[in-house]
Amino acid sequence: MRALTPRWGSLAARAAGGWWGPPAPRRGCSGSAEAGGRKPLQEWALAVSPRGRLRVRLPCQVSVRPLDPERYPGADRVLVAVSGAGGSPPPRGRQRDRVRVEYDEALEQMAIEAEDVDSKAAVDVRTPVKFDLDIKTSGTGCVKIQKIECDNCKIETEKGTSVLQSIKVQQTLPQSISVLKGIVWWSII
């Protein structure tokens, strides 16, 4: 009699690149404006404090990366680009009017909010390297964050995936990063 391997055994071996073949494709944050496949439908460039906070409430894909330090040595801007699904523009005024981008100088908080945006849309945000994050996506909206330093990092997805790469956090991990729901992939420095 032969012992049967657990159901998850073959999946774990495939994910690790074992002899059962290449890893199974996984749902992730693909097709955003950063990938170059979509032309932005609308863009914003706002002057901000170099140490601020980004608050996002969106039903679609969000990616956050640092500004280019050579182009923006003062780290005093936030760049936001909204791209539609498949690169084609939405019906007249559909997404353009529904995404709100505001900066509150007193709170040093950048806010990006929308309710009725297509879930296949993507929002690409470039912030100063040192910026706190408070991001919440609804539906299948996923979050991808790369090379950011922050004191507080809160990521919440309803059913989406969170990908955190090269995040530098000033406090200990359990107190400063909280990821609620969804699937999380991270590499934190």
What's the pTM? Answer: 0.72
Structure tokens at 14: 């495939």
The per-residue pLDDT for range 51-73, each reduced to its tens digit, is 899 999 999 999 999 999 999 99
Over 90: is that where the pLDDT of 22 sits? no
Whether residue 118 contacts residue 137, with contact meaning beta carbons closer than 8 Å, is answered with no
Q: Are strands 77-83 and 122-127 parallel, antiparallel or unpaired?
A: antiparallel
The per-residue pLDDT for range 162-176, each reduced to its tens digit, is 888 888 877 544 444
Whole-number average pLDDT of the chain: 75
The per-residue pLDDT for range 116-139, each reduced to its tens digit, is 888 899 999 999 999 999 999 999
- Which helix (H) or strand (E) segment holds residue 106: the answer is none
More confident residue, 110 or 151: 110
Structure tokens at 145: 């964050």
Tell me which residue of 82, 102, 104 sits closest to 93, measured CA to CA.
82
